Structure 1
Amino acid sequence: MSRKFQVKSVPSTWLENNGRRLDCGPYLSGAMEARELLRKLPAEKTHLANLTVDIFHAGRESRQWVEAEEFGVRFMGSTDVLAADLSGLPLISKKQVRANPNFTIRAGWTLITRSGTIGRMAYARSDMDGVACSEHVMRVAPDEQKIKPGYLYAYLHSRFGVPLVVSGTYGAIIQHIEPHHISDLPVPRLGELEEHVHNLIECAAEKRVAANDLINTAIANMATAAGLPELPASNGIPFGVNAVSSTCIVNRMDGAFHSHHHDEAVFLLKDAKAPPTSISEMCTSVVEPNRFKRIPIDDPAFGVPLFGTSALMWSDPKPSYLIPKNMTGIDSLVVGKSTVLIPRSGQITGIIGSPVLPYGELIGGAVSEDAIRINCPDENVAGYVFVALKSEYGRRQLKARAYGSSIPHLDVSQIKSVQVPNLGARLIEEIGSLGVQSAKLRHEAIACENQARELVENAIEAGGH
């Protein structure tokens, strides 16, 4: 989609007040309007640097990857800070993290992407505490004696804070911001409201952690009920050597499918206390929508939000744009609570084969044809399918069934053939309800965070009251 052409007239004083910057970004982003409104705000304002312990990033250095958890720390890239689920992250050497403590994230910090797509933000929740993070993410570490961390995040992530952060962007091809670009950003002090906003952001963070804990509990319950041993977590498909009969390679000859890594999961399922069944027998249909022409529109009254597969992984999924409600084939794109989404393409160590149970704006929204739909008879069955595919047994099968060299793909038939434990209706409903509850918690977390931002924005617009 081509970028929209924009024209805007600005007072010459804006150029003077902004160091005579002549690039158009700060003037078109809304940063100048936000700064002017904050300047006129009667409430006390403090520079960001005076409310923080530090604003920094890890610094650029080559990374030393490891495979064993005893030698490594989970590592987030710039897109991972937005993720709802941190399982499957690669491991960076503990020795390297000890040598550079700036890698480490602490709960309560505001995380801001600082290169490429700039200004995406996340609040570091408790399951991020101690995780290492890329130099492409800026850390804003609040001084909790001076300001509540949740309030600071809500303000920076508001429609006033984001334009001011992004206005410090520099560079033509690969854009960046540095800590000193936001150190003098004005932060309005809103009295007792700050505590309430902080509590809402903390509530959102706690719900997201609780959702992940519920998923882990559901996976453990499924394994116990089926008599399955715990498999070590993996991100991709490790190198290995395996011997198979010639009759096994009639349909597929790729090594990943016949690897010991994949075989181990399939053989353990076959020998489990509960006999396995296929995804095709659990669901009503597995569908890959047809490709369609994108026709972006602006009016929400006539449009449906369209999500790409990357956004499916975020703690707060955001659409790419709106597409017409009356578009031919729109029904095949809109998803509900009884559908499990599976990204069909990408790198093996990436999002391909990562199941998602819809929440937030995804419910009732349209998702691109790059996500295969597993349509289930009800929410609890969908929750169980999500849990089973989220487990290491599901992950290994989905990753190994992808085909292609440059950009691997999954198709409907490969997903239909994935095996999951058949635990009977009662246990499927019980375990599936935990998956459903995890999606509800993620949905509630988004509502809490949105409410916190709205309180901040409304107070600023009302003059700080």
Structure 2
Amino acid sequence: MSRKFQVKSVPSSWLGHSGRRLDCGPYMSGAIEAAELINQFKAEPLQSLTVDMFHAGREGRQYVLDAQHGIPFMGSTDILAFDLTYQPLLSKSQISRNPQFSIQKGWTLITRSGTTGRMAFARDSMDGMACSEHVMRIVPDVNRVPEGYIFAFLSSRFGIPLVTSGTYGSVIQSIEPHHICNLPVPRLGHVEEIADQMIQRAGSLLSNSQEKLNEATTLYFDSVGLKDITLTEWHSWGSDLGFSTSVDSRSLRALNFNPRFEKLCSKIRSGPHKLLGELCHEGTLRRGNIFKRIDATPEHSYQLIGQKQIFWLRPEGRWIARSSVRDEVLVPDGSILVAAQGTLGEGELFCRAEFITGSTLERAYSEHFLRVIADETQIERGALFSFIRSETSFRMLRSISTGSKLQDFHYAILPTLPIPYPDQVTRTRCNNLIMEAYESRDEALKFEDEARTLVERTIEEGTA
């Protein structure tokens, strides 16, 4: 696709209002245009509507493995995630020394380093979690402005350019609180309350979705007399060094026979179970095929999602021409996609899973995902995801990896993994919980979109 050059005509008055800046960035980004539109309203600087704007400051992080001594920690991209269950743990002692690591519900979170200007509204399920210094916290003064309105405006197409126009740095872009303290916030009267209600509703739906996901996984394990392993338990079982075992012709890699893996499999085999290969359609349990990516405009394209973005509420991906790929880049409803390539670092996404249904079916997915498509005559797809998303499944999948630096699955061992097999009533209940969680997710995104659209339309029309 040929390169497109951007051209924009601006009134001479904009140059006067912006200190006669002649660099194109502020004009092309929409920051100046946004400021001009906002001037139609009574506007107040962001600082006057907040209790505080800050980040945690730069210091080394102290991670722990025991949940008794740690708090779930979100990095700068984790604030964009849907499922926050399996986050690394930051030491409670570090948070005690620096309470600014903690976040509270109702705050607006903004990425402030690298890719700046990505935002999230801190919902109930985020309350009390720790968060990276690369995320700025905006703490609204609820006596002066609704929390949800601040998020709806800042994340709108008028707010984002104003936030990012304050970035500095050549290679790594950054913003600091003092760069946006004077950002003008239009006062929109009753519109602020309506936008706040929508954003608060979205936050409640997402937190409810999180509860349903965790409930489904807990129910799945309880029904067969098991408990999902925790990060603390896995590491308390000792290292994988110095053990003896009998091997077969499929593998000579010690990791594929480690005692902790065998212990997990033995626990599952002690109760009702089936093999993963028996529960999935024949020909699945594989990665996608490699294909050429040809960029195109969105109306003629699929949005291609990779391993990093798939776990975000709003995945970002390049647009590839539909004519250049086959339908295999799409997946059927209820597919489970597992990040199939990566390294074994504790914070890496390799072996984490996502469920594809609802709005996410419209996207294309790269070849770097393991396709797990349940045979619904054997098990409901949401029920299988209840297990695949668990810590137990994560550790089992990692134990059957192969490769040197970049890991992949051992596809001869993969179909032989034992999977707990609950009764029909439990499987149906787990499936319903998962489907309800993802329906609530889509509904939450619609509420967020409606709130932003309301704010944007009010600013464009110049009426409040």
Q: 1:399 matched to which residue of 2?
A: 398
Q: 1:356 matched to which residue of 2?
A: 354
Paired residue type of 2:172: I
Higher deviation after alignment, 178-187 or 406-415: 406-415
The structural deviation recorded for 1:324 is 2.2
CA contact (8 A) 1:339 1:382 kept: yes
Matches within 5 A, 1:174-185: 174-185=172-183
1:130-178 C-alpha deviation (Å, 9 max, x unpaired): 1111110000010011111111101111111111111111111111011
CA contact (8 A) 1:337 1:363 kept: yes
Distance 1:336 1:181 in 2: 46
Q: 1:86 matched to which residue of 2?
A: 84
Higher deviation after alignment, 234-243 or 394-403: 234-243
Paired residue type of 2:341: S
Q: Identity over the aligned pairs, expressed in percent?
A: 38
Give 3-state SS (helix, strand or coil) of 1:257's partner: helix
The structural deviation recorded for 1:281 is 1.2
1:217-257 C-alpha deviation (Å, 9 max, x unpaired): 11111111111134223699786045554532643344433
The structural deviation recorded for 1:451 is 1.2
Paired residue type of 1:463: G
Question: Judging changes above 3 Å, is the alpha-carbon distance between structure 1 residues 279 and 60 closer, same or farther for their aligned structure 2 residues?
Answer: same
Q: 2:295 matched to which residue of 1?
A: 296
Q: 1:334 matched to which residue of 2?
A: 330
Matches within 5 A, 1:450-465: 450-465=449-464
TM-score by length of 2: 0.92
The structural deviation recorded for 1:414 is 4.9
Higher deviation after alignment, 149-158 or 407-416: 407-416
Distance 1:104 1:205 in 2: 18
1:100-134 C-alpha deviation (Å, 9 max, x unpaired): 11111010000000011111101101111111111
Matches within 5 A, 1:128-147: 128-147=126-145
Tell me the C-alpha RMSD between the 2 structures.
Answer: 2.4
Q: 2:280 matched to which residue of 1?
A: 283
Higher deviation after alignment, 357-366 or 178-187: 357-366
The structural deviation recorded for 1:14 is 4.1
Q: 1:369 matched to which residue of 2?
A: 367
Q: What is the number of equivalent residue pairs in this alignment?
A: 458
Distance 2:3 2:266 in 1: 51
The structural deviation recorded for 1:191 is 1.2
The structural deviation recorded for 1:37 is 1.6
1:369-390 C-alpha deviation (Å, 9 max, x unpaired): 1122212345972101111111
Paired residue type of 2:65: E
Unmatched 5+ residue regions in structure 2? none
Question: Judging changes above 3 Å, is the alpha-carbon distance between structure 1 residues 112 and 341 closer, same or farther for their aligned structure 2 residues?
Answer: same
CA contact (8 A) 1:150 1:202 kept: yes
Matches within 5 A, 1:10-409: 10=10, 14-19=14-19, 21=21, 23-39=23-39, 41=40, 43-233=41-231, 240-241=239-240, 244-248=243-247, 250-272=249-271, 274=272, 276-284=273-281, 285-300=284-299, 302-318=300-316, 320-329=317-326, 331-348=327-344, 349=346, 350-359=348-357, 361-378=359-376, 381-409=380-408
Question: Judging changes above 3 Å, is the alpha-carbon distance between structure 1 residues 268 and 22 closer, same or farther for their aligned structure 2 residues?
Answer: farther
CA contact (8 A) 1:237 1:400 kept: no
1:409-432 C-alpha deviation (Å, 9 max, x unpaired): 236545433321122444322222
The structural deviation recorded for 1:72 is 1.3
TM-score by length of 1: 0.92
CA contact (8 A) 2:66 2:231 kept: no
Distance 1:3 1:442 in 2: 36
Question: Judging changes above 3 Å, is the alpha-carbon distance between structure 1 residues 120 and 359 closer, same or farther for their aligned structure 2 residues?
Answer: farther
CA contact (8 A) 1:237 1:399 kept: no
Question: Judging changes above 3 Å, is the alpha-carbon distance between structure 1 residues 46 and 438 closer, same or farther for their aligned structure 2 residues?
Answer: same
Give 3-state SS (helix, strand or coil) of 1:340's partner: strand
CA contact (8 A) 2:285 2:370 kept: yes
The structural deviation recorded for 1:314 is 0.9
Give 3-state SS (helix, strand or coil) of 1:356's partner: strand
